[in-house]
Amino acid sequence: MPDLLNQLSFLLQRVDWRTALDLALVTMVFFGMLLLVRDTQAMVLLRGVILVAIALSLLTTLINLPAFSWLVKTILPALIIAIPVIFAPELRRGLERLGRAGSGSMTRRAGPAADDAMQRTVKAVVSASARLSARQHGALIVLQRDDKLSEYIQTGVQLNAQVTPELLLQIFYPNTPLHDGAVIIVNNRITAAACVLPLSASGILNRSPERQMGLRHRAGIGISEASDAVAIVVSEETGSISIAHSGRIIRRLDSERLENVLLAFYRPERTSNIWRAFMKWLGVPATDRRKER
């Protein structure tokens, strides 16, 4: 212990602005990695890796164990190679988000006709969601934005139909051929129904105290993690309406708030922090994805 204290005192005496900058950059790298895996199953694994690394460091520093120290130094390079493989899905998702943020993609200003068509689509989706909620018919409606959803559209039945409440009600009527799966809307048209979406790998739904969010909610969050699409989910169990975007979900929306949220996403003046803006308008603390309600 005295040797450790002497070493710490020696290091503190050599700290200058370059050392502080170096430590700050390293801290930012680790902080970014933690953000990438936040609310995912990998967070538990990463926590275990950190605890093991701290324990090994303390053992090799405080106690003279030559053989054990040699073993740790030998397996360390293998662990450095294994970590990117273990966290590959989280790293890919994080890089995709960085790519979308860096592109500066924004909705182009549309003419009056296109704006009217968008508003009609939103009103049709809101009306259908409210009626499906009242009947407790489960539904999953995805609205494409800038990211293309072609690979998911190909998994469903091609429709290319006008967006109307009656058609959406018919699609999601229980036990009909197209009710199981997602409807994808592109350019104010129902492009496909019964589409298969990726399931979320995050731990949000696993920690839900109510256990009332099933595969539809997991698929809605999953498509919002894989793209910038907006997903509307109607619960078959409770009739609750939820909306998912960027891996986050807000539940128990009424038709008025749902319409305002959807219109906010398609305003020409949309910015990258629009989610926080309408979360604040809704009165919901937009802290992180752990807020489920």
Q: What does the pLDDT average to over 85-104?
A: 61
The answer on pLDDT for 143 being more than 80 is: yes
pTM, whole model, 2 decimals? 0.62
The answer on pLDDT for 208 being more than 70 is: no
Q: What does the pLDDT average to over 136-154?
A: 91
For residue 90, name the pLDDT band (cuts at 50, 70, 90).
Answer: low
Q: Which of 190-194, 246-250, 268-272 tops mean pLDDT?
A: 190-194
Given this model, what pLDDT does residue 156 score? 94
Q: 207: Cβ–Cβ under 8 A, 6 or more apart, which residues?
A: 290, 292
Report the range of poorest mean pLDDT among 4-18, 38-52, 195-209.
38-52
Given this model, what pLDDT does residue 123 score? 94
Given this model, what pLDDT does residue 29 score? 83
End-to-end CA distance of the chain: give it in Å, rounded.
49
Q: Left if phi > 0, otherwise alpha if psi is -120 to 50, otherwise beta: which for 25?
A: alpha
Given this model, what pLDDT does residue 168 score? 96
| Range 240-245, long-range pairs (CB < 8 A, 24+ positions) | 240/133, 240/212, 241/129, 241/130, 241/133, 242/213, 242/217, 244/217, 244/220, 245/275
Q: Which amino acid is at 154?
A: Q
CATH number of 112-282: 3.40.1700.10
Measure the CA–CA gap between 179 and 165, rounded to whole angstroms. Answer: 14
For residue 293, name the pLDDT band (cuts at 50, 70, 90).
Answer: very low
163 burial (CB, 10 Å; 0-12 / 13-18 / 19+) is: buried
- Between CA 117 and CA 126, with CA 120 as vertex, the angle to 5 degrees is 145
Quick one: which of 226, 200, 228 has its CA closest to 215?
200
Report the range of poorest mean pLDDT among 38-52, 141-155, 170-184, 258-272.
38-52
Given this model, what pLDDT does residue 237 score? 87
Positions of CATH 3.40.1700.10 in the chain: 112-282
The answer on pLDDT for 63 being more than 70 is: yes
For residue 154, name the pLDDT band (cuts at 50, 70, 90).
Answer: very high
Measure the CA–CA gap between 94 and 240, rounded to whole angstroms. Answer: 30
Given this model, what pLDDT does residue 103 score? 47
For residue 146, name the pLDDT band (cuts at 50, 70, 90).
Answer: confident
Q: What does the pLDDT average to over 122-134?
A: 95
CB 182 within 8 A of CB 191: no
